[in-house]
Amino acid sequence: MSESDEKKLDATGLFCPEPVFRTKIELEKMQVGQIINVSADDPDAEEDISRWVTRNGHELLNLNKMVQSPHSKLKN
């Protein structure tokens, strides 16, 4: 799957629990194996999304903590 086929979700400016809720909604629309990149600047989003992914059987492919644009890459 190329990067252009990956879905993107911008949750910057949103605070807990909104980034997790929006990630959940987008993953429910996707097929198994599809990838989504989630950008979120909420300080709790990293831990919240990582925990939610593990509990719900998804795969965290990458977690990038760049200060300007933190994002996670998830596989459904």
pLDDT digits (tens, 9 = 90+) for 24-41: 999 999 999 999 999 988
Alpha carbon distance 48, 42 (integer Å):
10
pTM score of the predicted model: 0.79
d(CA 29, CA 46): 22
Cα separation of 14 and 22, whole Å?
A: 10
Mean pLDDT computed over 3-23: 89
3-75 classified as CATH 3.30.110.40: yes
Catalytic residues: 16
Q: What pLDDT, on a 0 to 100 scale, did the predictor assign at position 4? A: 61
Q: Residue 1: is its pLDDT beyond 80? A: no
pLDDT above 70 covers a percentage of the chain that reads 86
Work out the percent of the chain whose per-residue pLDDT is above 90: 61
